[in-house]
Structure 1
Amino acid sequence: MSGTNSYFVPGYGISRTVIQNEIHYYCGPNSIVRPYTLQGRDGFLVTTSGPPLTQAQIEDLKISSREYEEKQSRIAGEATVFVNKPIAVHQRLRRG
């Protein structure tokens, strides 16, 4: 890809599935997005020869992500929909 730009998009509130499916719509068919960590923050590295994501487009991705997560939660059969619901992890106590 010649003339490409790469930039970081913070991942808070954005589903990986959603951004990977919609990046071509926003930034062009040659756009690539992958998980990335910058200065300890998880997010996505977007590489595109098209226009960068605008703040409004990022907000649209967050809305679509919430809808996607809620749909996935309903499919999983959970009674209540709560995105990023804490999951209990059983830990064994150390005996000293």
Structure 2
Amino acid sequence: MAGANSYFLPGFGISRAVIQNEIRYHCGPDAIVRPYTHQGRDGFLLTTSGPALTKAQIDDLKKSSRDYEEKQSRRANEEDVFVNQPVAVAQRIRRSG
């Protein structure tokens, strides 16, 4: 990636699944995004040789994220999924000895 720029994007209101799916559409085919924490704030580190995201593009990502989260919520309610379902783990028996 010749001439690539990296910058931090605060993650409030932006779904990880959405930004990873749409970043190449907004910033070009070589754009990379990954979760990142900057000065205690969670967000994303964007690396691209293309232009930085505009305010309108960020707003579009937030709208797409809201739609995605609502769709996921409806799907979970329809399927009656219990996210924090207990998982059986092999237990070791203690022997005094």
TM over 0.5: yes
Partner of 2:76: 76
Q: Counterparts in 2 of 1:14-93, with a 5 A limit?
A: 14-77=14-77
Structure 2: 5+ residue runs without aligned partners? 79-83, 85-97
Structure 1: 5+ residue runs without aligned partners? 79-86, 88-96
Identity %: 76
Partner of 1:94: none
For 2:5 and 2:72, how far apart are their aligned partners in 1? 33
Partner of 1:12: 12
For 2:50 and 2:23, how far apart are their aligned partners in 1? 10
Letter in 2 for 1:18: V
Pairwise CA distance, 1:13: 0.2
CA RMSD of aligned residues (A): 1.2
For 2:54 and 2:37, how far apart are their aligned partners in 1? 20
Q: Deviations over 1:12-31 (max 9, x none)?
A: 00000000000000000000
SS in 2 for 1:63: helix
SS in 1 for 2:8: strand
SS in 2 for 1:77: helix
Pairwise CA distance, 1:77: 1.1
For 1:51 and 1:3, how far apart are their aligned partners in 2? 11
TM-score, structure 1 as length reference: 0.80
